[in-house]
Amino acid sequence: MDAFTSVSGPATHRAARLISWRWATPEAQTDLATRDLAAILKYYRHVHGTSQMETGEVLGYDKTYISALEEAQALCARGRGEDDPHWLYWINPGEIMGQTGSCLLDLGRPEQAAQAFADARNALSSDEIRTRAQFLSRAATAQMRAGDVDAGSATGHEVLALVSGVRSARLHDNLATMLAEARRYSSAAPAQELLERGQAVMEERAV
């Protein structure tokens, strides 16, 4: 039986409680507070007893991508070198922080994810429109999941102002997720305004 098989029973409930307890330990909180992707993924694999491939399946990345992202973080910190892998040219601190935010969001840590996305925003240049839109849409989702509807709605409006003319299936999915999160707070005026504008934008993108 693998780590992702869902079985109901006392043993399963004990395992779930143990996993929750491990994520609440000082060790886990220290790793999460650093927003260090390699440390977070390493601890995730330790807690859940999963391989890189299994972790990749949970997070939506393959094992080679996870390995590359961890390596990229170290390489960026080291500085460019003659022996850099061929894919490093498109990796920068903003991309790494954005991917870190995505991992934290998928791990159920929206507050830390929102901070990582904020760091990504500060690190990315203004001409990286597609990348900024991708991460800001995820940032809005993280902020709303963390309970900050005002900030999430404001970020959502920022995203919607960026996406005109940007065609990307992944961005479309991220926008849909962002708006689905906003629907949870549809009674709040900021979320309602975001939903109304978002619906118009999504209809335009569908044409």
Query: What are the two backbone dihedrals, phi and then psi, of residue 190, each rounded to the nearest 5 degrees?
Result: -60, -40
Residue 144 has pLDDT above 70, yes or no: yes
> Which has the closest alpha carbon to 57: 7, 120, 2?
2
Distance CA 152, CA 183 (A): 12
Name the band, by pLDDT with cuts 50, 70 and 90, for residue 167.
confident
Q: Mind listing the pLDDT tens digit for each residue in 25-48?
A: 777 777 666 655 556 666 666 766
Q: How far is CA 76 from the centre of its chain?
A: 20
* Residue 164 pLDDT: 85
Domain boundaries, the chain: 10-91, 96-207
Architecture in CATH of 96-207: Alpha Horseshoe (1.25)
* First CA to last CA distance, the chain: 46
DSSP line for 84-144: --GGGGG--HHHHHHHHHHHHHHTT-HHHHHHHHHHHHHHS-TT-HHHHHHHHHHHHHHHH
Give this prediction's pTM: 0.63
Q: Mind listing the pLDDT tens digit for each residue in 63-91?
A: 554 555 566 566 556 665 666 555 555 56
Name the band, by pLDDT with cuts 50, 70 and 90, for residue 22.
low
